[in-house]
Amino acid sequence: MMSTKVLTSLVVLCCLSAVWAMPGDLVLMKDGISMGAVCLDGTPPGYYFRPGSGSGRSKLIMHMEGGGWCYNEDDCVGRSKTNLGSSKNWGPTASFNGFLSDDPQLNPLFYNWTLVFLKYCDGASFAGNVDKVVNWKDTDLHFRGFRILDLAVESVKSIANFSEVILTGCSAGGLATYIHTDYVASKFPGATFHAIADAGYFIDANNVNGEPLIRKEYQYVFKMQNCAGGVNQDCVKDLSPKGEEWKCFFPQYTEPYIKNKLFGLNSQYDTWQLGNILQLPCNPPKCTPDQMKLLENFGKEFLEAAADFIAGDSRGFFFDSCLHHCQSLGGEWTNIMVNGQRANETFATWYYEGSGSGSGREVDCAYPCNHSC
């Protein structure tokens, strides 16, 4: 149970800045090469590791990095030459903020937990698994994201016998959290397991012209990288007779199958989704009345898509109406408020099963109502 003192400390974190931080060290999983668990360009995958301290040594936060997807082979060739497709230029250390901070002033409940920050280099939210190397325009591509995830989990399990595990991720890593929660949980059978998906609830919605652009893009990624074996298998089992396995790449279709405890952290007006799914041709509030109507309708679509999530007994959520994308890694984690609760407070209340002043399940009013944005 959380103490009143700790809960009070959560409230006053909004204006503090980190005064110190211990970076995580890069661990390259070179043994993955022989197992075919490699980045797009064939280099070894890896993660940043920061050991826990005190009681946090036996507690794990495993964060999956985000960074979009490569939507076709040409796109993947370009991505394979960047840090999102190759480990060649990853730095030896990295520091983290927000929910991943090791500053007890900023992150009093989780600062001393062991941290694994899994680098993203496969382009399909750690879901792809194509046996053969794909040669595209004289470039070899390796679609092996699910093998990377599997290798990482086995590597992490060798660190300690963890009693508590939180799986998390932002953006494409947030989507990865939805599609991999049950799989990763199955690898830690003796641990208390929770997941928090940040800005990963990408909805199956049309753009401003009524075109299902994101659906087509996800369908191609799903097929190109052979993702059917790397998403929730209960979802695949139900949808494969209809040839709709690709739906399991969307949170709204896969979430009802997730058995483990899950917290959703998302803006109803996520800026990435406004620009890339809705393709809104303006920056709110500098939009025409017709464009603002499109924005309003998208927020309604988001809540409709998340209806099952909101109704779930084992679910927690913080769905605000601010214009942003990802919040657990920065100031939004402690600044934005919904119904008098901040995101970090809402998650803590849910995680510790109602020990806080809120419900652990907060849904905001419609844009632009929230003055904490």
User: What class does CATH assign to 4-363?
Assistant: alpha beta
Query: What is residue 5's predicted lDDT score, i.e. its pLDDT?
Result: 35
What does the pLDDT average to over 207-234?
98
Residue of 194, 325, 328, 364 marked active site: 325
Residue of 86, 87, 171, 267 marked active site: 171
Domain ranges of the chain: 4-363
Query: What is residue 358's predicted lDDT score, i.e. its pLDDT?
Result: 79
pLDDT band at 20 (very low <50, low <70, confident <90, very high): low
Sign of CA dihedral 238, 244, 249, 255: negative
Say if residues 343 and 298 touch (Cβ distance below 8 Å): no
Query: What is residue 287's predicted lDDT score, i.e. its pLDDT?
Result: 97
Annotation marks residue 31 as catalytic: no
pLDDT score of 19 more than 50:
no
CA diameter of the chain:
61
Query: What is residue 323's predicted lDDT score, i.e. its pLDDT?
Result: 98
What does the pLDDT average to over 290-308?
98
Query: What is residue 354's predicted lDDT score, i.e. its pLDDT?
Result: 73
The angle, 0 to 180 degrees and rounded to 10, between the axes of the packed helices 172-186 and 145-157 is 50
The full DSSP string for 60-108 is EEEEE-------SHHHHHHHTTSTTT-STT--SEE---GGG---TTT-T
pLDDT by residue (tens digit) across 25-82? 999 999 999 999 999 999 999 999 999 999 999 999 999 999 999 999 999 999 999 9
Annotation marks residue 171 as catalytic: yes
pLDDT score of 2 more than 90:
no
pLDDT-wise least confident of 13-17, 20-24, 186-190: 13-17
Cα angle 155-120-18, degrees, rounded to a multiple of 5: 90
Q: How far apart are CA 225 and CA 134, in angstroms?
A: 10
Q: How far apart are CA 319 and CA 91, in angstroms?
A: 34
What's the mean per-residue pLDDT of the chain? 94
The full DSSP string for 54-67 is GGGGGEEEEEE---
Query: What is residue 118's predicted lDDT score, i.e. its pLDDT?
Result: 98
pTM of the model: 0.94
pLDDT score of 15 more than 60:
no
- Which is more confident, 6 or 163? 163
Query: What is residue 8's predicted lDDT score, i.e. its pLDDT?
Result: 38
Q: How far apart are CA 78 and CA 320, in angstroms?
A: 34
pLDDT score of 281 more than 90:
yes
Annotation marks residue 270 as catalytic: yes
What does the pLDDT average to over 271-278?
98
Residue of 270, 320, 324, 364 marked active site: 270
pLDDT band at 355 (very low <50, low <70, confident <90, very high): low
Say if residues 320 and 264 touch (Cβ distance below 8 Å): no
Sign of CA dihedral 241, 245, 248, 252: negative
Provide the 3-class DSSP secondary structure of residue 293: helix
Which H or E element spans position 11?
helix 4-11
Query: What is residue 356's predicted lDDT score, i.e. its pLDDT?
Result: 60
